Amino acid sequence: MSDNNRNQRDGSIKLSPPSPMLATSTSSLQVRPNLPNSQISITFPPVPTFEHELVPTISSDLASKLAGDVLTAFGVTFGITPFMAVIDKAIIQRAAGTHSIVQSSLSSIISMASNPVAFVKSPMFLMMWGVYATTYTTANCLKTIAEHQDHFQDKKTKNNESSDGIGTLGTFVATTVVNSSTSMLKDRFYASQFGTSAASGVPAKIPKITYGLFAMRDCMVIGSSFILPDILCGVIQEHSDLDRDSALKVSQLACPILAQGFVGPVQLLGLDIYNRPLAGLSTKDLFMERFRFQCANFSSIFGARVSRIAPAYGLGGIGNTYFRDMWRNRLLRQERGSCD
């Protein structure tokens, strides 16, 4: 007689142990055999819902995110460009010995306040705006593309460490190339308009070593503005109670400002070589003359560069992050609404 017939005659219910395959998939089932009329009640566990798959955490609309990056970059840099244009002109005129930092800045501010439309249309403003609008646009777009690819690529081929490294290095190199190339055009214009050649009326050729020093300056500025803040942010979080947003704001302000202690002498040396070739001096005398010039002008140039870099990459970086995140959150809310 089979086991099933015996169970029916006794009026009892007896379940045989599940097979290993079934045990793997139904181990969480609850069986309650002691019910009247030989009924079996099986309670299935709730079906899990993968919220991270149903509700997006990052917008999938890459084109709209890139459009927001461009609009944010041009909008934020438009607001900070007047400060940078005034300070850059003052630094060049101070290095040339024609004006002090205060005299040049006051002259530019008075001119800007008396006719703001003409100031916005001037090459002095437009070239400076072009430098930082393209720099911020490049950094924003490359970060967005790297993040988008990292988030939406196949999980089997995803490698966080390598993709983050490539994204950071690629962002740094591309942003530096864009910033350096546009800054060279701007620096050449500013030097010819406000340097010693402007006072003499004879345009001077910019030496290659000056271009090299300006390129070094740009690498240091980009690294301290777009790369180091993310690194310092993690360090601040580990050693303080600040959340990520607060730590990032602190690092975005601190890194560019502290870097000016190294950036200022590099730019000052490049301007000094352009304004004063000093071709007839010996190596020792040339070194001592350059060193004395650095000592005499470091404090004023450092203060001017801090005043310039604070809005350029400090406040500008905070504003760029704020409006960029606001745009992306708006896109994300629209996508979540369409999912509902």
Banded pLDDT at 51 (limits 50, 70, 90):
very low
The whole-number pLDDT of residue 203 equals 61
Q: What is the mean pLDDT of the chain?
A: 80
Q: Nearest Cα to 325, choosing from 113, 58, 116, 56?
A: 58
Whether 52 has a pLDDT exceeding 50, the answer reads no
What is the spatial distance between Cα 312 and Cα 308, in angstroms, rounded to a whole number? 6
Contact 190, 88 (CB under 8 A): yes
Q: What's phi and psi for 200, nearest 5 deg? A: -85, -20
pLDDT in tens, 213-249: 988 988 898 888 888 998 999 999 999 999 988 998 8
pLDDT in tens, 97-119: 888 899 999 999 999 999 999 99
The whole-number pLDDT of residue 39 equals 53
pLDDT in tens, 297-323: 898 888 888 888 877 777 888 899 999
DSSP 3-state assignment of 129?
helix
Is pTM beyond 0.75 here? no
Q: Nearest Cα to 96, choosing from 216, 182, 186, 193?
A: 193
pLDDT in tens, 71-98: 999 999 999 999 999 999 998 988 888 8
The whole-number pLDDT of residue 89 equals 92
Which runs of E-coded beta strand occur in the chain? 30-32, 41-43
